[in-house]
Amino acid sequence: MRELGFLSFVPNHGGTAGAAAALEDGLRLFETAESLGYGTGWVRGRHFEPFLTSPMTFFAAAAQRTSTIGFGTAVLGMRY
The residue ranges of every structural domain in the chain are 1-10+21-48+57-80
pLDDT value at position 2? 61
- Condensed to tens digits (0 to 9), the pLDDT of residues 42-65 reads 998 776 777 777 888 999 999 999
Q: Determine the Cα–Cα distance for residues 77 and 70; give it in Å rounded to an integer.
A: 20
| pTM, to two decimals | 0.82
pLDDT value at position 69? 96
Look at the alpha carbons of 27, 49, 6, 72 in this order and tell me if their dihedral is positive or negative: negative
- DSSP per position, the chain: -TT-EEEE--BS--TTS-HHHHHHHHHHHHHHHHHTT-SEEEE---TTSSB-S-HHHHHHHHHHH-SS-EEEES------
pLDDT beneath 50: ranges in the chain: none
